Amino acid sequence: MRVLEHPLVRLDNVAKQYGSGSSALLALDRVSLTVRPGEFVCLLGASGCGKSTLLSLVAGLDKISGGTLDTGGRKVSLMFQEPALFPWLSVSGNVELPLRLQGAGRAERRKRAEELLEVVRLRGFGGKRPHELSGGMRQRVALARALAQDADILLMDEPFGALDAMTRDILHDELERIWREQELTVLFVTHNVREAVRLGDRVILLSSRPGRVIEDFPVAHERPRRIDSPEVSGQAAEITDRLRAEVARHAH
């Protein structure tokens, strides 16, 4: 693992509450978590446990209600389940958008977009419109756009959740390759236990609402991994049992 000593992301007793008084909703409660440079960390938990809320806090889209959260001022980019591409822009235009917002000139934007489309293996598709692409290809464009922000930390909120199994499997390989080549630090939210074990260096399990860290599973299987390999399946079954027990506890 390409992991250094000092955390890139540090949450210490982080809480997030929505509303106040009798209508207050505690989404996250005393969450402590570190992500080190080069780590691929997956967040897992039942629906409504606060996984997406946690990403929003790390991205700076929302404010914590308590505790401390530190990314050391490093740049963060966020990728969602939906590609959220602008239909009136070409593929290149979508990728260039963050560069345009950064004030980059036209020639620089065009060159960088071409490089990034090469990275996500969409060379030659720059002139296409999003509706001309498959779902998997649109997610590649969204990934290229996220990379265009030149961030140190890539936050991914169930980016492959809406894709079919084969496309998802291919994109797992692509994401792992890009993570290595670009030396990214990734915090990845998923509902899919096997996906978490397939991709992660660690799998963090959150409790049902309010979200708390209840388990931190190291994933030591050699890369590259297959989602249906015995090693991945075995650890996924172990984590699923722990998740099922947590969901059952919350249901009573």
Q: Which residue has the tokens 């020639």?
A: 107
Contacts of 124 (CB under 8 A, 6+ apart): none
**pLDDT tens digits along 145-159:** 999 988 889 999 999
**pLDDT tens digits along 197-229:** 999 999 999 988 888 999 999 999 999 899 999
Q: What are phi and psi of 15, to 5 degrees?
A: -125, 150
Answer for the pair 205, 41: CB distance below 8 angstroms, yes or no: no
**pLDDT tens digits along 59-82:** 999 999 999 999 988 889 999 888
Give percent of the chain with pLDDT exceeding 90: 63
Distance, CA of 180 to chain centre: 15
Q: What is the pLDDT of residue 251?
A: 63
d(CA 17, CA 170): 38
Q: What are phi and psi of 70, to 5 degrees?
A: -135, 125
d(CA 96, CA 108): 9
- pLDDT by residue for the chain (252 residues), tens digit each? 444 458 899 999 999 999 888 888 889 999 999 999 999 999 998 877 888 999 999 999 999 999 999 998 888 999 988 888 999 999 999 999 988 888 888 888 899 999 999 999 999 999 999 999 999 999 999 999 999 988 889 999 999 888 888 988 999 999 999 999 889 999 999 989 999 999 999 999 998 888 899 999 999 999 989 999 999 999 999 999 998 888 777 665
Answer for the pair 96, 109: CB distance below 8 angstroms, yes or no: yes
| Residue 237 DSSP SS3 | helix
| Model confidence, pTM | 0.91
Q: What is the pLDDT of residue 1?
A: 45
| Residue 31 DSSP SS3 | strand
- Please state the three-class secondary structure of 164-227 as a single string: CHHHHHHHHHHHHHHHHHCCCEEEEECCCHHHHHHHCCEEEEECCCCECEEEEEECCCCCCCCC
d(CA 53, CA 16): 8
Q: What is the pLDDT of residue 2?
A: 47
CA-wise closest residue to 102 among 82, 119, 77, 81: 77
Which residues make beta-bridge pairs with 211? 28
H or E segment to which residue 245 belongs = helix 230-251
